[in-house]
Structures are given as structure tokens and as C-alpha cells.
Amino acid sequence: MIQLEQVSKTFRGSRQPAVDRITLRVKQGDICVLVGPSGCGKTTLLRMINRLVEPDDGMITVDGRSIAQMDPPTLRRTIGYVIQQVGLLPHRTIAQNIALVPELLKWPREKTARRVAALLEMMDLDPGEVGHKYPHQLSGGQAQRVGVARALAADPPIMLMDEPFAAVDPIVRVRLQDQLLRLQQTMQKTICFVTHDINEAIKLGDHLVVLKAGRMVQSGTPLDILTQPENDFVLRLLGDDRGVKILDQTRAETLMDPFADAAAQAAANGHRVQAIDPVKIALERMMLMNTDEITVCEGARPVGLLRWNAIKAHVHRISGGAS
């Protein structure tokens, strides 16, 4: 668990604080996403957690221990850091780059080699093809993936990821996001993830933190923020399709009319979605099938009926009928 208590940082020579009295808690196994416009202090906040930047004020603890008392190199070896500019070592091959932290931790050679190969595959890179190349021979997106692999190398319990997917194309990006979510189910790491991209934030985050000019504007689950944006700034950040995004975050079961009795259940029509599917998926099916209602199931068992009118009313209610 990472905890920040009233943390502030003002860089020498600038009048505005880069990070201004932030209090934040990232639970074990959660992905906390920091979003906000360029220059709002996301990177600075992240770098205070591994002490690459020292806060002027406030307190940061990891698993209950104040990091100010810890030896920075030791602290950093337990925290994977994917830096925004990638920062691969140009004089080392890709495999040697990924092997860096295991090397610092003095892992046996074979174990490191196996780990490197596994990580490259995990990142959709061919170990035989890419492993012996040098950083300048990779594309921006490939280099970024190597940066992620390098941070994961020693399997640190905490990951700080600074816009790790910014340079990859949309298709690969979606694949890497899905991969991160899939891995996270088994790895259960505590992750701080920085992004500009609100869609990425909503998709990956268990918890979002919206920053503006060093201040925390709002924090909460993606659905909290989508349904109750604190102010115009958050509303604008969420974009023009807030309703659709909400439907992507809302489970079909929450808007359905549950079947009252077995008779109704038996009458259920042929089109179905799962109860835990997002409403957006249900909507897509309904449009494809040209129907106004769809059966919601738990496994094979029909549990309710989701109606077009209910969806419409929900979006209308949330957006306050304004947009």
C-alpha cells in the first residue's frame, strides 16, 4: 500500500508548486491512475514515490513505512519504474537492458535469461528477434514495451508507470492494456499509472486521480467520476461522450428489470447478454438485432430484461438532462 499525506513539491526557480498538498492512498493490488493535462504534476508525483524527487512537505509511506527513512537504492529495487522517456541504456542490448535489475540483485544467469525471454514474450516481442538488438534499432513503441518489461523484470510488488503506452499505435495499445489487466489479475501489483488519455484511465483504473496544476481535483472510481464530476474541468476532461463511457462502466444487471417469476423467465427472447457485461455491449447487440430489449443472464440462467428506455432514462438522469 502506498500512502501520501499532504505532499507538496515546489521546484527551485518556479513560483507555482508542481505538486500541492496531495493526499492519496493506493491499496494493495489496485491500479491507481493519475490523469490531467500536461504539466499538472503527474510525473513529479510519481517520482516522489521512489524518491527521485524529494517532497518539500508531507509524508509518503509504503506498506506503513516512511520512505524518507529508507535507503533510496534499496527502495527503488522494490519498485518497478517505467519512465516517460523510456531511457533504455544505448550500450546494452535489449536483453541486457531487461536483465539490469536482476543483475543488480545478483540473480543466477539462467534464471535471468528465462525471465528476460518470458517478459519479451509477454510484451509481444520475439525474444530471438529483439533480444540481441540495441535500443536504437527499435521503433518507439517497441522501445516503450521494453521499458515496461525492464520495470517488471525483478517482479517488484509496486509499479510506477509513466505514460507507458503513449508511443504505441492504438491497436497494440489496446492489446497491451488488456494484457496489463489480465496480468494484474494474477500479479496483484500495486500500480500507479500516469496517462493523458482519459479512455485509458477509465479502462485501467480501479481508482482515478484527476490533477490540475498540482492540485487534486477529484478522486474516486471511474464510475464515481463519470457520474458525479466535481466541476467543469473534470466534465471537459471526460469528453463529449460521457454517457456512452458511463454505459461502458455500468453492468447490464444494474439497469435491468429482474424477472418477477418463472413464467416471465420462460418468455425471455433469444438475444442475451451476461449480467456483468457493460451496458454498452448490450446496447451494441440491441442495435445490431434491431430490438428494444435484451435478456440478461447469469451463465445460462435468464435473470432479467434490459430495456432501451431504461438505458435512455439512466443516461438522461445522470447527465442532468443538460447534454
Partner 1 sequence: MNVIGFIRDNASLVLAYTGNHIALVLVVLALSLGLWISTGLLISRHERLAGAVIGLGNVIFCIPSISLFGLFMSVPGLGLGRRTATLVLVLYAMMPLVRSVHAGIRSVDGTVVDAGKGMGMTGLQLLLKIQVPMAWPAVFAGIRVTVVLITGIATMATFIGERNLGRLIHQGITRGDAEMIIAGALIVSVIALALDYAMGRMERIIISPGLQVQGGERPRVGA
Ligand X SMILES: Nc1ncnc2c1ncn2[C@@H]1O[C@H](COP(=O)(O)OP(=O)(O)OP(=O)(O)O)[C@@H](O)[C@H]1O
What residue ranges bind partner 1 (CB under 8 A)?
50, 52, 72-79, 81, 83, 85-93, 100-101, 104, 134-136, 147, 150-151, 160
Q: Between residues 78 and 274, which has the closer beta carbon with respect to partner 1?
A: 78
76 interface partner picked from ligand X, partner 1, Mg ion, none, CB below 5 to 8 A per type: partner 1
Q: Which residues contact 216 (CB under 8 A, 6 or more apart)?
A: 22, 23, 24, 209, 210
Q: Does residue 15 interact with ligand X by CB under 6 A?
A: no
Selected range binding Mg ion among 40-48, 87-95, 130-138, 214-222, rule: CB under 5 A:
40-48
In whole angstroms, give the CA distance from residue 8 to residue 21: 5
Q: Between residues 105 and 267, which has the closer beta carbon with respect to partner 1?
A: 105
Q: Between residues 84 and 199, which has the closer beta carbon with respect to Mg ion?
A: 84
Shortest Å, Cβ 39 to ligand X: 4
Q: How many other CB atoms are found less than 10 A from the CB of residue 72?
A: 12
Shortest Å, Cβ 50 to ligand X: 14
Selected range binding ligand X among 32-40, 75-83, 136-144, 170-178, rule: CB under 6 A:
32-40
Applying CB under 6 A, among 39, 72, 140, 258 the residue interacting with ligand X is 39
Cell numbers of 17, please? Answer: 508548486
Shortest Å, Cβ 150 to partner 1: 8
Max Cα–Cα distance, the chain, nearest Å: 73
Tell me the CA distances in angstroms from 52 to 47, 79, 321, one per residue in order.
5, 12, 46
Distance between start and end Cα atoms, the chain: 39
Secondary structure letter of residue 278 according to DSSP: B
Q: Report 119-148 residues binding ligand X (CB under 6 A).
A: none
Q: Between residues 43 and 250, which has the closer beta carbon with respect to Mg ion?
A: 43
Cell numbers of 14, please? Answer: 518556479
138 interface partner picked from partner 1, Mg ion, ligand X, none, CB below 5 to 8 A per type: none
Q: Does residue 42 interact with ligand X by CB under 6 A?
A: yes
In whole angstroms, give the CA distance from residue 239 to residue 35: 13
Axis-axis angle for helices 279-289, 242-249 (nearest 10): 110
44 interface partner picked from partner 1, ligand X, Mg ion, none, CB below 5 to 8 A per type: ligand X
In whole angstroms, give the CA distance from residue 122 to residue 120: 5
DSSP 142-191: HHHHHHHHHHHTT--SEEEEESTTTTS-HHHHHHHHHHHHHHHHHH--EE
Site size with ligand X, rule: CB under 6 A? 12
Q: Between residues 196 and 280, which has the closer beta carbon with respect to ligand X?
A: 196
3-state secondary structure (DSSP) of residue 198: helix
Tell me the CA distances in angstroms from 177 to 169, 184, 298, one per residue in order.
12, 10, 26
Task: State which residue has the least CB distance to ligand X.
Answer: 43
Applying CB under 5 A, among 33, 36, 40, 43 the residue interacting with Mg ion is 43
Rounded to 5°, angle at Cα 196 from 58 and 240:
120
Shortest Å, Cβ 71 to partner 1: 9
Q: Does residue 190 interact with ligand X by CB under 6 A?
A: no
Q: Does residue 219 interact with Mg ion by CB under 5 A?
A: no
Q: Does residue 43 interact with ligand X by CB under 6 A?
A: yes
Task: State which residue has the least CB distance to Mg ion.
Answer: 43
Residue 88, classified by CB atoms within 10 Å of its CB into exposed (0-12), middle (13-18) or buried (19+), is: buried
Binding residues (CB under 5 A) for Mg ion: these are 43, 84
Binding residues (CB under 6 A) for ligand X: these are 11, 14, 18, 38-44, 84, 196
